[in-house]
Structure 1
């Protein structure tokens, strides 16, 4: 028995990322205006490496919810920008560990500040209680389908 109170198209559009897409577009715009020349997808990889440097490509897949070909392409492009470097794992030479280059470390503070600014823009007029409800609902949706 369906419990949603939306028309099916509205609910599907919302859950599949209408808000997420709008936030990503605004963050990309804010990056461009600040002369940060990376994509949101590249930034998401860097973000996880800032949290823990030296992750495997599989760990980056898991952290960013992307498939292996996508992560390989993103890491290739980040290498070309000299923001990361691949190093063969000491334990398993078939596995590459991804490490931040010094230039990427320099981007961390600026891009995190831009991300916080973007979230503040997105959440203007939204109460803490509404945010908590949204988090609970979206977590439940995710858990139902995991």
Structure 2
């Protein structure tokens, strides 16, 4: 097994790559007039895949805690991108629902994110990406067991 240096461990734990990606996406959103954060985009992205889901499902999909997701949904509601609707099957729950404005945001944000991802992955082969994905998924699996 290859030894990982303390510096590499720090960079992994500090979220250095994630931070660079988030800052790049946020800057690109601002340059294109998209007024959301990368965290808000992750919530919207969940809803673009499956609209009208409960908050706990968003927590599970984004790996964020309930207070953080509540804050994100509150801010998305203020921007008229989502709304809460009572769940007819269980009145204790609210379904988080995209508004027409939230639906309309999908195309532009998706294009921005795809452009950044394509740029970031430039020069990386499909085989390298597959190996990297496999390693990252194994790390996630190992940590869920821990």
Runs of 4+ in structure 1 deviating by more than 6 angstroms, as ranges, are none
What 5-or-longer segments of structure 2 have no aligned partner?
none
What 5-or-longer segments of structure 1 have no aligned partner?
none
Cross-structure match for 1:68? 66
Aligned with residue 81 of structure 1, among 64, 67, 79: 79
User: How far apart are the structure 2 equivalents of 1:130 and 1:109?
Assistant: 29
C-alpha distance 124-15 of structure 1, shift in aligned 2 (>3 A) = farther
Cross-structure match for 1:29? 27
- 1:111-142 Cα offsets, whole Å, 9 max, x none, are 00000001011111111111111101111111
Q: Secondary structure at the match of 1:85?
A: strand
Normalised TM-score (structure 1): 0.94
User: How far apart are the structure 2 equivalents of 1:4 and 1:67?
Assistant: 34
Larger displacement relative to structure 2 (4-13 or 136-145): 4-13
User: How far apart are the structure 2 equivalents of 1:60 and 1:5?
Assistant: 36
User: How far apart are the structure 2 equivalents of 1:113 and 1:15?
Assistant: 29
Aligned with residue 50 of structure 2, among 44, 49, 52: 52
C-alpha RMSD of matched pairs (Å) = 1.2
Q: Secondary structure at the match of 2:80?
A: coil
Larger displacement relative to structure 2 (16-25 or 92-101): 16-25
Instruction: Give the drift of 1:43.
Output: 0.6
Aligned residues: 144
Larger displacement relative to structure 2 (92-101 or 5-14): 5-14
